[in-house]
Amino acid sequence: MKKLLLILILNTFLFTSSSYALDDDKKVKSELLKAMNRADTQEVKAITNRESRYIQEDPILQKMIDAYFEQEAKDLQVLKQQIRTMKEEEIAEKRNREARERRLAQEKIVAEQKAQALAEQQRLEAIAKAERQKRAVAERKRAEKVAKARTPKPTPIAKKVVKKAKVEVVPVSNTQRYYTEAQLAGHWKQKKKGKQVSFEMFNNNQFVIRERASKGTLTLEGVYNREDDNLMLEISKITYNVRSREAAVKRVYKLKNLSSTKMVLMDAQGNVVYTLER
């Protein structure tokens, strides 16, 4: 704005002094005006240095030039201050960003430490819980053992002797594929390590399986049916030692290597379950 005011004053001055100024003077003033109008400081300096003698003889023109350079110096100071302010703002922003990054990193470390502490606490609580459960089970077993030792043994009850129906064994051919219930009927046995198996099959499709081991005897009772080379057992009663319970369990075995003296039963996975003889 101040430069524009100086240019206007210079134009007025040129206009009022045009009637008595020389052509060279007009040319110098015109060049100065154009340079100031373009804010071409280098050109203004060049003209001032080149026409210093003439300018010194014109006090008004000298004042205008001095005012131009004074304003130029002020504008330069303002620009420098703006640059300094921008640099200071950049430095402050960088410091704030670094401080924010350090704070976030510290918060992350604290969060990880808390998570680790929580995980360790949960692990210790799980171990303590498992120990409590283990002690509770041991205490319950101990109490059951003591209660069992204190309980008087029941007086054995005489078992009623049930006369078994006579089973007629019908010989079968080794080349025969399927077998009737009469041919399957009989008393089959198997001796395994630590266990003895007795498989009795009757003409009325009833069966009884007894598995005797050192810990006790398991008895399975029910009805059997044959379909091709499949033997289907429908278990209706399960007895372990002297305790019995009703059941509804179905087992299906594959008949293999069946002869008049040998019968092999396999499960659905092809594993041999019984190898029986009679």
Q: 228: burial class by Cβ within 10 Å (0-12, 13-18, 19+)?
A: exposed
pLDDT of res. 12 = 58
The ranges of the chain with pLDDT < 70 are: 1-24, 150-182
CATH class name, domain 181-277: mainly beta
pLDDT of res. 18 = 45
The candidate with the shortest Cα–Cα distance to 268, out of 249, 248, 254, 255, is 254
Structure confidence by residue, pLDDT tens digits, 248-265: 899 999 988 778 888 898
pLDDT of res. 152 = 56
Residues in the chain, overall count: 278
Sorted by where each begins, the domain ranges of the chain are 1-110, 181-277
Round to whole Å and give the CA distance between 31 and 35. Answer: 6
pLDDT of res. 91 = 92
Structure confidence by residue, pLDDT tens digits, 143-184: 877 777 765 555 454 444 444 444 444 444 443 455 666 677
pLDDT of res. 179 = 62
What is the DSSP pairing of strand 272-277 with strand 216-227?
unpaired
